[in-house]
A and B are shown apart, each in its own frame.
Chain A
């Protein structure tokens, strides 16, 4: 019973990390139709900010964490201003390749100016302790991850439902032209979307670095690939879908890791992605996506 509870918490922790990243991808996609493959580099920027601060001798977690998140937000805003604004009205494939370009550029910049090898970042190692809750052995990091994700998601929901800008963003996801007609600036809506995605990725970056204990230039790739998949399972562009898809992916992954016989361990990825393919073929619009009529909305 303890084992099952522990695995469920495990799945929830992984799932909430994917959900944070997937929400960031979905919020940008829902508004401007951009598949932001450079999302992983926002994580990398946050992570390298931590490393640079420690090298500079400012290694207190209370200082490192907020600045890493801030760097991620600024990074996301800079991506939008420099690279994505000029291709805003271009076809999806153009946006996607621009994102690849940003991703390759940022990865190689870290490779060139810092190192191609992983570097240790141990300042958050204190989070990797075990705590006992009654008979249960739990990782502090996992509890924090789950708690923070919950708080952030609630904050996001409040922002999107209660503030004018949040309402404008939800409206923009439906009909951008209409939002602009009522006098809301397109640039502000899109920049906010990128800012939020940067904030979520920055928070995820803190947990990713705490778990790995090291950083490297391509560390953002796998998490974002998973987040991307989570988005698609949930229905691309749907925010509740992204959250649900992230959690579901966490459960699928942990479930397969636990249930799969040891000698098949190498096939975990294959089975996870085969399951995802199955979901996509049976429900191409995702679990919570709107079923768009094959009419004027179909590309």
Chain B
């Protein structure tokens, strides 16, 4: 790249970082309000929401830039969670839960920081291997390929009981994460996603998903960029899994399977898959909405009348919100815009 390019690189970086902070703002405000109330159960719900932000923003890196739908992002959430779990559980506890772990893992226990680094390395290696296969195909075949990956990974989690405990919960993970720490992680992931989206690579990749032929004519190396987005997305999603494991302390492969896949995909598409702000908005709307309706499900007392329990109501409402959202705003709530695009519109020549 030439020196003129070097000087043009700064504005996008500054905009991405500042815009990223603005993108994170609604999440921050909601969480600060919840911390201020001091209600422990609300903090726990907010934490689940922050994990969802990390996962959905991770998904956005893949879907928003490469185009197409991915059903396999929660595989990396699960791998991240299981990797830090297997590496960081104390040895005495391992004798109880995975006594026959292969590769001598039963006698190994790392500090959480070391576990995170090794886990990120494992995720990166797996992402490169799967990515090399998946970037070869595009369109609907690629969507199905991610679906295959999800099912294969889940079968392995279920079958390899000596390492993952199959359908039983994996417990005993050190619980040291707090909501403020998770917020910091989520902000870093959001800013990272914004930097990638606004970088020349992100712009080229988004252009290629709109018109593959035109992008190739401009010598865009689509395969390599797709691979990059796939790996970054996998890393971000795995970070979501790690902060989840270090807070809850107990993980189960079942909880990363299709219901979670559909929930996170729905959050992203409802918010608008082409913008990072859309990912945050989608998580906020669906998380808060489901929580409000879940209260109705348990049969609360309203105005002195005890309502009956209505299991399934939150799902019913989720379905209705998705259909209405898609009918009224097919490109998602945010479309292709970020929050900062609404407040400070970009000059036409830079877009």
Contact = CB atoms under 8 A, between A and B. Distances in A.
Interface of A: 35, 82-83, 86-87, 90-94, 96-98, 100-112, 116, 221, 225, 228-229, 232, 236, 266-270, 273-274, 276-277, 280-281, 284-286, 294-295, 298-299
A101 B156 contact: no
A98 to B, nearest CB: 4
B315 A83 contact: no
Nearest to B315: A108
Nearest to B310: A112
A104 B326 contact: no
5 contacts: A101-B320, A105-B320, A273-B152, A299-B138, A299-B212
Contacts, number: 153
Interface string B1-32: 00000000000000000000000000000000
Interface string B140-172: 111111011101101110110000000000000
Nearest to B322: A101
A39 to B, nearest CB: 15
B271 to A, nearest CB: 11
B322 A108 contact: no
B-side binding surface: helix, strand, loop or mixed? helix
Contacts of B212: 294, 298-299
Interface string B302-329: 0000000011111110111111001100
B133 interface: yes
A94 B269 contact: yes
Contact of A83 (B156, B312, B327): B327
A39 B327 CA distance: 19
Given A111-B312, A280-B148, A281-B133, 16 more contacts: A90-B326, A101-B321, A101-B326, A104-B315, A104-B318, A107-B315, A116-B312, A232-B141, A266-B158, A270-B155, A276-B144, A277-B148, A281-B145, A284-B138, A284-B139, A294-B213
B136 interface: yes
A116 B311 contact: yes
B124 to A, nearest CB: 21
Interface bin, chain B: 35 or more
B323 A229 contact: no
A280 B151 contact: no
Given A91-B331, A105-B320, A270-B156, A35 B140 contact: yes
Contacts of A112: 310-313, 316
A108 B330 contact: no
Given A86-B327, A229-B144, A270 B151 contact: yes
Contacts of A299: 67, 138-139, 212
B71 to A, nearest CB: 10
B322 A100 contact: yes
A102 B319 contact: yes
A97 B302 CA distance: 34
A295 to B, nearest CB: 7
A125 to B, nearest CB: 28
B313 A108 contact: yes
B285 interface: no
Given A104-B322, A108-B316, A277-B148, A284 B141 contact: yes
A268 to B, nearest CB: 8
A267 B159 contact: yes
A160 to B, nearest CB: 22
Nearest to B144: A232
Nearest to B136: A281
Contacts of B265: 97, 100
Contacts of B311: 111-112, 116
B16 to A, nearest CB: 24
B312 A108 contact: yes
A269 B330 contact: no
A297 B319 CA distance: 33
Contact of A91 (B145, B149, B315, B330): B330
